Structure formats: C-alpha cells, structure tokens
Amino acid sequence: MRVRGCGGKVRFRDHEEAVEHLHHAASARQAASLVEGVVTTLHALRAYACQACHGWHVTSQPRTTEAVPA
Ligand SMILES: [Zn+2]
C-alpha cells in the first residue's frame, strides 16, 4: 500500500495518544519560546485519523484535506 504524505509525520496509535501529545505540546510551546530549534509538532493543535496509515497524526492547521470527517 502506498502511504501518501505522512511518511515524515509523527504517528500515534490512537486518538487518546494523539490528544495526550497535544496537551504536552501546548505546555511545551510556552517553554519553547525560551529555546531555539523546537520540533514542529510543538505547533500541533489537533489530531486527525490518517486514512493512509490507519494511525493518527497531529496538525497545526485548523482543517486540512487530510482530515476525513467521521
Ligand atoms: Zn498517516
């Protein structure tokens, strides 16, 4: 199966794990203001289920074409 557009993204096993990361990222963003070179996932605002790899990813965009409404 061909995985499109998510090869370089952080993948989570389920929604709970992804949301947990979002909470971590939210607090980390504040600390990140003091540090250079923070990882991109610190900007993550929401989680979405990926149809390509059947995992979950996080994104900083309110809505993307990757997200498929349940
Ligand atoms: Zn994926």
Residue 34 Cα to ligand 1 midpoint, Å, equals 31
1 pLDDT higher than 50: no
Select the more confidently predicted residue: 67 or 56. 56
Residues 18-53: pLDDT tens digits? 999 998 888 877 776 666 655 555 677 889 999 999
Domain of residue 69 covers 1-70
Contacts of 7 (CB under 8 A, 6+ apart): none
pLDDT score at 19: 93
Q: How many A from CA of 33 to the centre of ligand 1?
A: 28
Q: What is the pTM of this model?
A: 0.62
Predicted confidence band of residue 14 (pLDDT cuts 50, 70, 90): very high
Contact by Cβ (8 Å): 57, 46: no
Report how far ligand 1's centroid is from the alpha carbon of 29 (Å): 24
CA-to-CA separations, 34 to 21, 29, 37, 53, in angstroms, rounded: 20, 9, 10, 34
The total number of structural domains in the chain stands at: 1
